[in-house]
Structure 1
Amino acid sequence: MPLAPLVRSGSPLPLGANVTDEGVNFAVASEDATQIYLCLFNENDEEEHVIPFVSHHRGIWHMEVLGLKEGQHYGFRAEGTFSPKDQLMFNRHKLLIDPYAKSLTGTLEWHPDLSAMYSDGHFNPIDTAHYVPKSIVKTITRPDDAPARVSVKGAERSLYELHIKGFSKNLEVSPELKGTYLGVVSEQGISHLKELGVTTIQLMPCFAFANERHLQKLGLQNYWGYNPINFFTPDHRYAVEDPVIECQTMIMSLKRAGFEVIIDVVYNHTAESELDQASFSFKGLDNARYYRHENGEYLNYTGCGNCVNTYHPAAVRLICDSMRYWVDVMGVDGFRFDLGVDLGREKHDFSSTSPLLQAILQDPVLSETCLVMEPWDIGPNGYQVGNFPRGFLECNDKYRDIVRRFWRGDEGIVGEFATRFMGSRDVFHKGYKCALHSVNYISYHDGYTLHDLVSYHRRHNHANMENNRDGHGDNISQNFGVEGPTSDNRIKAQRLNQQLCFLATLLLSQGTPHILGGDELSHTQHGNNNAYCQDNQTTWLGWQNSDEREQLQSAIKTLLNLRKAYPVLAEVFLEDDPLYQYKESDKVEWVNEAGRPMSNEDWSESERDFLSVLFTTSDLSSRLWLIFYREDQVLDVPLIKNARQHQLLFYTPGVAMRDNHLHITERSVALVKLLP
């Protein structure tokens, strides 16, 4: 064995492994450990040296190791009290990933030996160095020619949710690029996204992640990636060779193509899961500080076995450092936060002034990024839609549900539909938040695709091997008479029309629209509404040309162009909203099928199927008439009077102008421009 390298005190900051003029400085946080060890590995994955840290300052262990170079493989071991009832899980036999590692040697596969203790609570002495990927000393810098942050006007923003592997796996690219970071930004990938007209690519998780224990036993894979092992390192699964460089290249290439790029981040829990499961990083370094607990038990507000204690300074610093790294070095323009209520909890309850939320909003870099919050978790008071600080956009499931109910034909909901369509002002209150804070969506990765929403009445999750018990049971869907695939052209036409009505409603609503990647292709998951473990053709997008795909893509492109041409469709300046008191007010008028203003009786009519609204901009340059009709019977609607000319800007099948009327033959959405 070679001689042990020389060490000296080094510096407690920055955390992680950082190359110096004479070696590498290592710093890791652990308040409760009695000793931390640095383990150095050679290229054959052999542990050559175990070096005790020589300095400890304010809960941070640090030292500089002379002679080490870029590319060195390493890990940590932590020594201290082993007392699970006190949340002290120190076990020197467990090799630990550096929480600040910028690169790893590979993926982590769950194994029973990874646990610091056996299921009966006793100490597990089995060494795990051969199971745990090694951290790599790697200096990642922002390229000199990196594009600047892509700035998107709020009223023009449209989110497109993209799974890296699912998007690129079936693209017509060279085999080595299929399912990869580089495949996303292939000529075919970029061309499709630009043609669609979206502004913002929302990448599903790309942090290094692990499969859950139960999935591994079933022979399934975690496909979505919501099970991280580290908050800095991109996952190997999507790389040809180097995941860090290729992920950075993907982000930079999307930005050069003009897209704003945000990543879906999972800061609420880790793959270490429950107390008796894996110990490969945070649990072994400082379990009592990194995770929420009470009375000797984890507080599982995430449903994933643990939840990160974002009330503790170490976790706040870790998350903010991770976010700044992804912005400053990897190049992203923002974040979508999974189970965001956990990030806003103090000791237990949610607070809009919690330490992490305030840390993000006061940060001069992070506060300027696009921040999208999933505003719930499964803990107490875990539903907080509308209650996050103004710096965060929020996913609005109230919008999703009422729009689905409206187009399904549910009774007595027209008033709430209008409320959701106008930006959910009962949630995002006038005078405090604009409608753009509402992230509107019909479909998301967790649920039915748009195609399946109009093709299935019940979930079909048998492939998940949980006896079809997983996934949401109430999908507010409609199959038009046949469950699943059909050869009936009439039903196919109805389903396509319903998808077009959904898209038109979404993209003409007040707020920020979110499109699920693949909906423009009419992608089906065969009724599976929880396809998190389906890493196969169920979730990989198909790129076959079809009339259905052409119509959906054309509709999205047209509607997004209309939102840009007429910003009033995304954000109307209301006279009674103090938020816009410095602006000239636009005018909004609700009109019934007879061309008259909506009466109280109209609003209270339980079976009302027709609703329309007139937008007149403050400068009178635009007057737009938007019509929703959800019945499959012929309806003739008189054109708006005192308009010299009517121009159909957008319409779904079954809409035509005829003899000073809109002639509608089936459920439809239409947008008409009125000229005085």
Structure 2
Amino acid sequence: MGPSVVEDGVCFAVFSRHGSRVLVSVFDEAGEGELARFALPCRESDIHFGLLEGAGATLRYGLRVEGPWQPERGHRFDPAKLLVDPYATLIDRPFRWDPELARHGADTTALVPRSVVVSLPGGGETPALAPPSFIYELAVRSFTMQRPDTPPALRGTLAALGDPSVIAYLKALGVSHVELMPVGAWMDERHLPPQGLTNAWGYNPVNFLALDPRLAPGGPADLAALCQAMARANIGVILDIVLNHTAESDEFGATICLRGLDNAVYYRHAAGDPGRLVNDTGCGNTLALDRAPVARLALDALRHWRRLGVSGFRFDLGAVLGRTETGFSPDAPLFVALLQDPELSRAILIAEPWDIGPGGYQAGHFPAPFAEWNGRFRDDVRRFWRGDSAAAGALATRLAGSSDLFAGAHRGPQAGVSFVAAHDGFTLADLVAFERKHNEANGEDNRDGDNDNHSWNCDAEGPSRDPAIGAARRRDVSALLATLFLARGIPMLTAGDEFGRTQHGNNNAYAQDNPDFWLDWQGADTERVAMVATLAALRRQHPLLSAANFLSGKGDPPDALWLRPDGAPVADHEWSQLDAFCLLLNGANESLLIAVNRSRRGMALTHPPGQWELLFSSCRDDADMLPARSVVLWRQHGIFGS
């Protein structure tokens, strides 16, 4: 599919079931003047194909498709619209919204990027790295734009992430895999440009195989070089992939790619109403990934990224991957095709296990070897530290690896990606400083973003110069970080949360690509960075913290015991009243004691018998006590009770 350089020229293959004719528009070397249009002369079933003799790599082109304009039947063909080839691996300029992209009959030649025929870099086999043990989520521009060690000419690009200073920082922090927020070509939502805003996150894709030129001016070679540089440091690269919708949006949106190729096939439409798009994504459309041509495009895109050296993928709104006409199924066609693929089935696969469609929350229901973002972990940890009643039992379940979600399908704690804050929602610092969202800068009168954040403020809403308030917030953030890293599962941290990044109370900063929202490296809290590095090191040094099995409380001695601070076992009826408790872990050569205390006073702690060594405390108070608002870890050589 797409363009292939052959001995006599370039061969094109384009899918369109309902289109009558596919044309290739050829442009000059600068991509400005349209030199000619050629109809693909051959068709076999739904594939239109042909050879453009004498052409080769660097050819700039676009597609046009003739066919019926019957919106009520799902057909929106418009040969006046220049289309980006969904199989193009390079485009020559970024996408930009213009109302003409949505107006039927309006020529968009001047508005749409050109697809470019390219010889792909040979990245070789994706290096075999260890499974994820600490995932670090980052947005390329936000991470690099204000980083002082990064050469100014590289800031905002993938090349900036490959800078030795960045890799050294990630190594020192203990990161095993970076998860890049979308780097594929995207377009601003149509309501943003009139407000002077731009999409900062990239969750609005157009084509699934081309990098955005703003992030990768060198095209696929930039990503291949980054993956190689990271692999030399034993760090894997995970791509956040959006395979649930495109930037063509609803019926008032643009025609720039799939809509113009075959809207009725690529997108899901309402049963009995082929003119109405299903919107399980909240973005205006939903890809019909249970149909063979759409699934093929998705799988070909994933193979393309793997060839460039990517270790795996995080799937945005991943429930869409399992949707069919009858709802979500772990046996959906895309899952079946992906998991039998000898290459893709060995990649890291992580799902965001929800969308906004019927039955959209599917946490725990994805097929192995998928891991899943554990939203229950986020919510239960926040509720506990906020002080919600009856929250201790839920926290205990999360510390132990969330067996309630994954054990039923015989999947271990590594099936859960644990996080307290992510790109979507409050930052870790804002979580303890704002009870309510403040998204006014997004231009939607604070209507956007989630209202249910389980957040709190320490004595005063928003920024504060009061040292006592600052100290209280730092204590809470330290406790949250310790909870994350001492729990079973795969911990994930969003870039900047290790040093106090803020979004000023904005919990939906997708449209804030500006210095106020880029990472403030100059103001980084270096003590907190060091603490995160210590916690990551503890996970590496003490396998009990990251073991791949759930706790049973069985054995001689038991693999785990839940204790009150006075050393007595926790009775079932006591969980709803607890502000503090301990988890005793027994392994082959050592025992660990994790103690948490959310109350605002320190309390006496009775250790189990033996010699206990303090390994970590989230605060500087006397660790012979169990300090207020703290998480503390002790170690005993040998096995307790043996």
- Indicate yes or no: 2:240 matched with 1:253: no
Aligned to 1:314: 293
Of the three residues 69, 74, 85, the one matched with 1:98 is 85
Change (3 A) 1:415 1:150: same
Change (3 A) 1:185 1:57: same
SS for the counterpart of 1:109 is coil
Contact map agreement 1:573 1:586 (CA 8 A) in 2: no
Of the three residues 194, 201, 207, the one matched with 1:230 is 207
Structure 1 position 545, deviation (Å): 5.3
- Counterparts of 1:265 and 1:626, CA distance in 2: 36
- Indicate yes or no: 2:626 matched with 1:664: yes
- Counterparts of 1:275 and 1:554, CA distance in 2: 50
Letter in 1 for 2:141: K
Change (3 A) 1:180 1:603: same
Structure 1 position 431, deviation (Å): 6.0
SS for the counterpart of 1:166 is helix
- Counterparts of 1:441 and 1:247, CA distance in 2: 26
Of the three residues 562, 565, 571, the one matched with 1:593 is 565
Aligned to 1:11: none
Change (3 A) 1:138 1:585: farther
Of the three residues 131, 155, 158, the one matched with 1:181 is 158
Deviations 1:4-59 (A, max 9, x none): xxxxxxxxxxx011100111111011111111111111124211111111111121
Structure 1 position 551, deviation (Å): 2.1
SS for the counterpart of 1:638 is coil
Aligned to 1:458: 436
Structure 1 position 281, deviation (Å): 1.0
- Counterparts of 1:179 and 1:575, CA distance in 2: 44
Contact map agreement 2:400 2:551 (CA 8 A) in 1: no
- Counterparts of 1:584 and 1:532, CA distance in 2: 52
- Indicate yes or no: 2:140 matched with 1:164: yes
Aligned to 1:201: 178
Contact map agreement 1:655 1:668 (CA 8 A) in 2: no
- Indicate yes or no: 2:526 matched with 1:550: yes
Aligned to 1:304: 283
Structure 1 position 193, deviation (Å): 0.9
Aligned to 1:62: 49
Letter in 2 for 1:214: H
Letter in 2 for 1:61: H
Structure 1 position 158, deviation (Å): 1.1
Query: Aligned ranges for residues 345-384 of structure 1 at < 5 Å?
Result: 345-384=323-362
SS for the counterpart of 2:88 is coil
Contact map agreement 2:4 2:12 (CA 8 A) in 1: yes
Letter in 2 for 1:43: E
Structure 1 position 190, deviation (Å): 1.3
Structure 1 position 252, deviation (Å): 2.1
- Counterparts of 2:548 and 2:126, CA distance in 1: 30
- Counterparts of 1:105 and 1:291, CA distance in 2: 26
SS for the counterpart of 1:426 is helix
Structure 1 position 675, deviation (Å): 3.0
Structure 1 position 575, deviation (Å): 7.3
Letter in 1 for 2:206: I
Of the three residues 279, 282, 287, the one matched with 2:258 is 282
Aligned to 1:423: 401
SS for the counterpart of 1:429 is helix
Query: Aligned ranges for residues 392-471 of structure 1 at < 5 Å?
Result: 392-430=370-408, 432-471=410-449
Letter in 2 for 1:137: V
Deviations 1:368-413 (A, max 9, x none): 1111100111111111011110111011111101100111111111
Letter in 2 for 1:32: H
Change (3 A) 1:52 1:574: closer
Letter in 1 for 2:263: N
- Counterparts of 1:575 and 1:543, CA distance in 2: 40
Structure 1 position 631, deviation (Å): 1.0
- Indicate yes or no: 2:548 matched with 1:562: no
Letter in 2 for 1:42: D
- Counterparts of 1:185 and 1:596, CA distance in 2: 51
- Counterparts of 1:168 and 1:82, CA distance in 2: 45
Of the three residues 500, 524, 529, the one matched with 2:478 is 500
Of the three residues 475, 496, 499, the one matched with 1:518 is 496
Structure 1 position 435, deviation (Å): 1.0
Aligned to 1:211: 188
Structure 1 position 610, deviation (Å): 0.8
| Superposition TM-score, scaled by structure 1 size | 0.91
- Counterparts of 1:376 and 1:49, CA distance in 2: 45
Query: Aligned ranges for residues 315-354 of structure 1 at < 5 Å?
Result: 315-328=294-307, 330-354=308-332
Aligned to 1:647: 613
Contact map agreement 2:66 2:77 (CA 8 A) in 1: yes
| Superposition TM-score, scaled by structure 2 size | 0.96
Contact map agreement 2:412 2:550 (CA 8 A) in 1: no
- Counterparts of 1:499 and 1:59, CA distance in 2: 56
Identical columns (%) = 38
Contact map agreement 1:167 1:541 (CA 8 A) in 2: yes
Aligned to 1:532: 510
Letter in 2 for 1:603: W
Of the three residues 95, 111, 130, the one matched with 1:131 is 111
Contact map agreement 1:575 1:585 (CA 8 A) in 2: no
- Counterparts of 2:546 and 2:5, CA distance in 1: 48
- Counterparts of 2:131 and 2:151, CA distance in 1: 36
Change (3 A) 1:564 1:430: farther
Aligned to 1:49: 36
Instruction: Indicate the RMSD between aligned Cα atoms, in angstroms.
Output: 1.8
- Counterparts of 1:586 and 1:76, CA distance in 2: 65
Aligned to 2:66: 79
Change (3 A) 1:584 1:41: farther
Structure 1 range deviating more: 89-98 or 173-182: 173-182
- Counterparts of 1:575 and 1:513, CA distance in 2: 18
- Counterparts of 1:191 and 1:230, CA distance in 2: 33
Contact map agreement 2:121 2:221 (CA 8 A) in 1: no
Structure 1 position 260, deviation (Å): 1.1
SS for the counterpart of 2:498 is helix
Letter in 2 for 1:273: S
- Counterparts of 2:373 and 2:581, CA distance in 1: 25
Aligned to 2:247: 271
